[in-house]
Chain A
Amino acid sequence: AQSVTQLGSHVSVSEGALVLLRCNYSSSVPPYLFWYVQYPNQGLQLLLKYTTGATLVKGINGFEAEFKKSETSFHLTKPSAHMSDAAEYFCAVTRRSYSGTYKYIFGTGTRLKVLA
């Protein structure tokens, strides 16, 4: 079975500090991995994705994530938090089944709070 675990439903950081949001997945085959951000009263939007190739992926707004197969992790980082980064962040995984269908699995989300 495939699942996504986001450690920490709430994370608080000071403005200018490092942001680290954790995501671990379980999958029997290499997955596609995504991070989405949801600002208040809005839909989700893609921050970055990993499909194949380079394991360090850069996204929008200065975020990046590294796919570590040995650790089954895809943690999201940003060197310096900004007040505008306060939002809900979702990790997601998808992979193609033998029948050819894909299934998207979202994590439970991590709310990032940025302190002035």
Chain B
Amino acid sequence: DTAVSQTPKYLVTQMGNDKSIKCEQNLGHDTMYWYKQDSKKFLKIMFSYNNKELIINETVPNRFSPKSPDKAHLNLHINSLELGDSAVYFCASSQDAGNEQFFGPGTRLTVL
């Protein structure tokens, strides 16, 4: 059973398009996150939700919008994709915001 799953695993798209990445966790956790990992492996937190409420919103362009329909899901929608958005995006969850995080397998986004 996959604890944290993301779809799609790979996403190749043109500049200017809008795309979404979905994340689901079956661990019963209260907190979920989105991270961006660049080509140098630097991991940057983008958003954090606790019980469907946004608790961390780092300096991220408005083109990125997270949506949490319920505690088990946290989706990421990206408008007007740019070349610089190319990266691996990781979803993660934890029981509470200070504890161990469980990561999904990542979504590799390539913007052409």
How many residues of A are counted as interface, with CB atoms below 8 angstroms from the partner's CB atoms? 24
Return the chain B residue nearest A46 by Cβ.
Answer: B100
A69 within 8 Å of B by Cβ? no
Partner of B103, one of A41, A44, A103, A109: A44
How many residues of B are counted as interface, with CB atoms below 8 angstroms from the partner's CB atoms? 22
Return the chain B residue nearest A103 by Cβ.
Answer: B56
Does A111 contact B41, Cβ atoms closer than 8 Å? yes
Chain B residues within CB distance 8 Å of chain A: 4, 33, 40-43, 45, 55-56, 90, 92, 96-106
Chain A residues within CB distance 8 Å of chain B: 32, 34, 36, 38, 41-46, 49, 88, 90, 94-96, 101-104, 106, 108-109, 111
Closest 10 CB pairs of A and B: A43-B103, A102-B97, A102-B98, A44-B103, A106-B43, A109-B41, A46-B100, A94-B98, A43-B105, A43-B104
